[in-house]
């Protein structure tokens, strides 16, 4: 995950967008928007882009999902960083990211379902 440095995406194809709640390091909930394009996953707040995950370079290493109907999904990033989100459409979010990674990198995104 890295901060946006006026990084422009040529011809973005928007594949998924939804309102999510991101949990910060202190466990506080923050309202965000998640947008998945054909190359990047963006985490946005009302005013600016907070972070970008490049789906082409292996920045997203795996995901963890809750098997319950609580909407929790964890995106495990390179460098021991995680994004903890609650997303009402968690399956679609992970599936869309997986399809982008498969199409661009020919790699399978690892998914774990657990209640821990």
Q: Is residue 5 part of a domain?
A: no
Largest CA distance in the chain: 39
Model-level pTM?
0.84
Above 70 in pLDDT, residue 1? no
Q: Is residue 1 part of a domain?
A: no
Task: Give pLDDT, residue 3.
Answer: 45
Give the number of domains in the chain.
1
Task: Give pLDDT, residue 67.
Answer: 85
Q: Is residue 7 part of a domain?
A: no
* 3-46 tens-digit pLDDT: 444 455 677 899 999 999 999 999 999 999 999 999 999 999 98
Q: Is residue 31 part of a domain?
A: yes
Structural domain of residue 72, as residue ranges? 14-113
Q: Provide, rounded to the nearest whole percent, the portion of the chain with pLDDT above 90.
A: 67
Core vs surface per residue 40-66: b (16+ CB within 10 A) or e: bbbbbeeeeebbbbbbeeebbbebbbb
């Amino acid at each position: 995950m890295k901060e946006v440095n006026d990084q422009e995406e040529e011809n973005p194809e928007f594949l998924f967008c939804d309102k999510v709640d991101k949990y910060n390091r202190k466990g506080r909930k923050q309202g965000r928007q998640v947008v998945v394009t054909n190359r990047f996953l963006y985490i946005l707040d009302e005013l600016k882009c907070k972070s970008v995950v490049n789906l082409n370079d292996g920045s997203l290493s795996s995901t963890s999902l809750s098997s319950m109907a609580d909407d929790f999904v964890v995106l495990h990033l390179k460098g021991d960083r995680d994004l903890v989100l609650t997303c009402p459409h968690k399956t679609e979010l992970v599936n869309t990211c997986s399809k982008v990674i498969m199409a661009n990198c020919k790699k399978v995104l690892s998914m774990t379902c657990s209640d821990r």
